[in-house]
Amino acid sequence: MRFHAILLLAAAHTAESLLRAALVSPGKAVSVSIEYSGAADAIDELSQELRKAKAAAIWCDDVDAVKCFANEQATAKGDFPGPLPVVYTGADRQAATDAGAAAVVADAGEDVSVAPVIWRVTADNAAGAAAAAGEGDAFLFDADATAAVVAALPAKAVAVASLNAMQEDEAEVEAGRACRDAGAAGVLLRRACVGDDEDIKYARHAVGLLRSKRSSSFAMDGFTGSTNGHFGTSYGGADKPKAWKRQQVAA
């Protein structure tokens, strides 16, 4: 039993290290995680393209989707880019872990039996949550609370700011960069992928812009960066992005 416990601790430590490596990009680039809220079918291509786009992790609240993403990501083991971790945000955490989730999200103070955990915090409870957690734990919070939360976390904590995807005038890009400048290691784009035909294009586009140091305003005709792998080749200060169909439907 003691040996088994040691193995479990070692596995948990390895999982936490891999998660941290995914959520903390080298250099000054912000890591960009993608939330998926669509159906748990026919997502292998999306899973592959998110890996190619250099997304940091895939987040979802459906156990079946976790299993599909985790199974596809596992096929990239030993390749470059390697598998992306899948983070589960729902309530059935043990089932999600069994399905291949690399981490789960829980509110600060919850009693969670699986690991690793990404703690959901606010500006008001971040300090207390950090005191109760490990110094290198990860924390999720709304983007507008970034400065206050980061100030309350220990230096080794992983700070991930969440913001809505596909905002008007690509406001998520500047907001994400502001989060990075305020000390966040990464951003989570909520509802970035919803199961429609714009998922892959938007994910490539958003990840490329957020990780780039260049202007976020450019012509989206042809998605040059998404086809040749070099984002930024069609940037232009005078160009305005076209509206996404998803935005038009919402309007």
CA distance 120 to 188: 12
User: What is the predicted pLDDT for the residue at 232?
Assistant: 38
User: What is the predicted pLDDT for the residue at 251?
Assistant: 63
Nearest alpha carbon to residue 172 among 19, 35, 62, 37 = 35
Identify the helix (H) or strand (E) that includes residue 136: none
Show the beta-strand stretches assigned E in the chain.
31-36, 58-60, 86-88, 103-107, 117-120, 138-142, 158-164, 186-193
Contacts for 72-77: CB closer than 8 Å, 24+ residues apart: 72/43, 72/44, 72/47, 72/48, 73/47, 74/100, 76/51
* Token reading at 115: 């690991």
CA distance 106 to 104: 7
* Token reading at 2: 């003691």
Residue pair 81/57 in contact by the 8 Å Cβ criterion: no
Tell me the domains of the chain and their CATH numbers.
2-215 (3.20.20.70)
Over the chain (251 residues), the average pLDDT of each successive run of 10 is 41 73 91 97 96 98 98 95 97 98 97 94 97 93 98 97 96 97 98 97 96 56 37 35 78 63
SS3 content of the chain, % helix, strand, coil (to 5): 40, 15, 40
φ, ψ of residue 68 in degrees (nearest 5):
-65, -50
User: What is the predicted pLDDT for the residue at 16?
Assistant: 86
CA distance 120 to 83: 24
